[in-house]
């Protein structure tokens, strides 16, 4: 199982989440929302190859944490994965839009200088601006759009930009989300939970709840849950390889 976007450090007991993921055999990309959270979060999963701790600065915190860009650059050489980063065009975050762009551009520039990273990207109400930034920094690495909610036209453009997509059960249960997923080539899809911010049966989700996303993908694709799991695992392998080869 693969959970490509989970906020392990935002659970009340992160250690238990990591232990559970190991026992259940889930590969987790443990994303962070501030650069200063990275050392502690990555320390939770030291010597655990199945848990990758991504270095992030969430667009929602861009104004508050722009001063941490130096910390971001300091830790960047130690990571393969970057996230959660991106832009958010929601009305309440519009007042500091220019700061969001400044932060995201800085991150992409740093990733380019560092030789590229795999990026877990937030693009709510900001699909086109995110793609513009990515176009400005073609060497930043491999973009993975998490919980994509743009239009089908935005999706076509994102695919043209070489984006990958991580999809979870909320996206896979909404009509619009399912329509988008059906248009994404199977070779560009990975699974995620965005836990603990998503719920399953009224309780916060855990990385292993990604089984639900696997099942829903299987319904869309008309294949078994096992086939979905195998395909997504193959995709992860290719995603990691594409960073190494630059293809």
Taking CB under 5 A as the criterion, the residue among 9, 68, 154, 194 binding Mn ion is 194
Is the Cβ of residue 60 or residue 231 nearer to Mn ion in the bound state?
Answer: 60
Rounded to a whole number of angstroms, the minimum distance from the CB of residue 84 to Mn ion is 5
Q: Give Cβ neighbours of residue 174 (< 8 Å, ≥ 6 apart).
A: none
Q: What is the smallest separation between the CB atom of 154 and Mn ion, expressed in angstroms?
A: 19
Residue nearest to Mn ion (CB): 194
Q: Using CA atoms, how far apart are residues 65 and 60, in angstroms rounded to an integer?
A: 9
Residues forming beta bridges with residue 27, ordered by sequence position: 2
Residues 79-118, interacting with Mn ion (CB under 5 A)? 84
The most distant pair of C-alpha atoms in the chain lies apart, rounded to whole Å, by: 48
Q: Which stretch binds Mn ion (CB under 5 A): 34-42, 78-86, 92-100, 234-242?
A: 78-86
Q: How far apart are CB 244 and Mn ion at their closest, in Å?
A: 26
Quick check: 209 binds Mn ion (CB under 5 A)? no
Torsions phi, psi of 3, nearest 5?
-115, 100
What gap in Å lies between CA 176 and CA 174, rounded to an integer? 6
Stretch that binds Mn ion, among 160-168, 171-179, 191-199, 228-236 (CB under 5 A): 191-199
Stretch that binds Mn ion, among 76-84, 101-109, 175-183, 203-211 (CB under 5 A): 76-84
Question: Of 40-48, 77-85, 88-96, 215-223, which segment contacts Mn ion by CB under 5 A?
Answer: 77-85
Give CA–CA dist 99/36, Å, rounded: 18
CA 63 to chain centroid: 21
Query: Nearest-CA neighbor of 204 among 13, 25, 40?
Result: 13
Binding site for Mn ion (CB under 5 A): 84, 194
């Amino acid at each position: 199982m693969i959970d490509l976007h989970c906020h392990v450090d935002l659970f009340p007991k992160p250690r238990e989440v990591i232990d559970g993921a190991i026992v259940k055999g889930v590969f987790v990309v443990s994303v962070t929302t501030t650069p200063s959270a990275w050392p502690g979060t990555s320390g939770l999963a030291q010597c655990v190859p199945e848990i990758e701790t991504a270095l992030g600065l969430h667009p929602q915190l861009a104004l508050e944490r722009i001063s941490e860009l130096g910390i971001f650059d300091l830790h960047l050489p130690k990571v393969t994965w970057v996230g959660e980063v991106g832009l958010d065009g929601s009305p309440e975050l519009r007042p500091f839009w220019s700061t969001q762009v400044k932060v995201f551009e800085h991150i992409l520039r740093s990733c380019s200088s560092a030789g590229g990273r795999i990026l877990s990207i937030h693009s709510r109400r900001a699909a086109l601006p995110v793609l513009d930034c990515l176009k400005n920094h073609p060497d930043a690495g491999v973009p993975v759009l998490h919980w994509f909610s743009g239009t089908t036209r935005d999706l076509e453009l994102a695919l043209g930009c070489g984006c990958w997509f991580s999809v979870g059960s909320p996206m896979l249960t909404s009509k619009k989300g399912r329509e988008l997923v059906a248009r994404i080539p199977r070779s560009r899809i990975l699974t995620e939970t965005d836990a603990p911010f998503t719920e399953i049966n009224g309780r916060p989700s855990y990385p292993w709840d990604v089984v639900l996303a696997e099942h829903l993908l299987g319904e869309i694709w008309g294949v078994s849950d096992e086939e979905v799991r195998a395909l997504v695992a193959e995709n992860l392998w290719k995603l990691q390889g594409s960073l190494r080869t630059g293809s």
